[in-house]
């Protein structure tokens, strides 16, 4: 019975690590695509609106 609990915990840890890996891979892929698009269009960054002042500013990664 202790082996079953051990393998269940190992399985849960592996699943959580896999999910974390996928989330990070999607984040990196989105950033690379955004950078490629900016390079293609010649943009120097992205305009982001400040919620407090309503002023747009240039966001560089």
Q: Profile the chain (61 residues) by mean pLDDT over runs of 10 residues.
A: 95 98 97 89 85 89 61
Domains: count for the chain: 1
**Residue-level pLDDT at 38:** 84
What is the model's pTM?
Answer: 0.63
**Residue-level pLDDT at 45:** 78
**Residue-level pLDDT at 35:** 86
**Residue-level pLDDT at 61:** 61
Find the DSSP H helices in 1-61.
Answer: 2-41
Q: Which domain holds residue 49?
A: 2-59
Tokens at residue 41, please? Answer: 């269009």
In contact, 34 and 27? CB cutoff 8 Å:
no
**Alpha carbons 38 and 26: distance in angstroms, whole number:** 18
């Amino acid at each position: 019975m202790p082996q079953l609990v051990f393998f269940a915990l190992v399985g849960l840890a592996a699943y959580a690590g896999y999910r974390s890996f996928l989330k990070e891979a999607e984040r990196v892929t989105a950033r690379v695509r955004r950078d490629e698009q900016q390079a293609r269009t010649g943009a120097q960054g992205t305009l982001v609106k400040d919620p407090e002042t309503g002023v747009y500013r240039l966001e560089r990664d």
